[in-house]
Homo-oligomer: A and B are copies of this chain.
């Protein structure tokens, strides 16, 4: 692409570094910003820079936070004895969006994956063990992806936590609402049959 302005070329290149944004999309975004008020564009730049500069990670659960302790961990109405272990902050948001979970979280920051060079020591596992040891946690829900890496991580964590009096559960696997039975993979279908539920619990939902 040939630009007649270095200012525009630099801005396009910066946008094109973002994931899923190619040069053409980047140009479209830059030409859009060019039509905006300079104060508005300045605000955009400031908000993005400030976000990266000032963001903190919660000292308890490692979720993103504006303070040392995140708004979930510092909320007195959340159940601190119930901890949901997730891979990343996106999972926290997904569960928060359901508005059905009243416990707290523990963000591992990844998942055990030898292929990608991610071992237990790269993850926030010691702090989870510390929390269980010191803060009277009653139940840990493993909300990890149903992959080999997820299952490996669940297995590793459950071994680490074996010595403590904590109940370990995993989120239910099964056919998604609206999902067609014939397109479900065999493993999910098999698990959803072996973990079948009494009809009453289905009707309740």
Contact = CB atoms under 8 A, between A and B. Distances in A.
A123 to B, nearest CB: 15
A66 B3 CA distance: 11
Interface residues of A, number: 57
Number of copies: 2
Nearest to A89: B31
A46 B92 CA distance: 31
Contacts of A15: 48
B93 A47 contact: no
A131 to B, nearest CB: 18
Contact of A3 (B7, B33, B93): B93
Contact of A4 (B11, B20, B52, B72): B72
Interface string A1-40: 1111111101100110111110001011111111010100
A117 to B, nearest CB: 16
A5 B55 contact: yes
A50 interface: yes
Given A14-B44, A34-B64, 12 more contacts: A4-B71, A4-B93, A5-B71, A6-B66, A11-B47, A14-B47, A19-B29, A21-B29, A31-B89, A38-B53, A44-B48, A45-B49
Closest 7 CB pairs of A and B: A45-B45, A45-B49, A41-B52, A11-B51, A2-B96, A7-B51, A14-B47
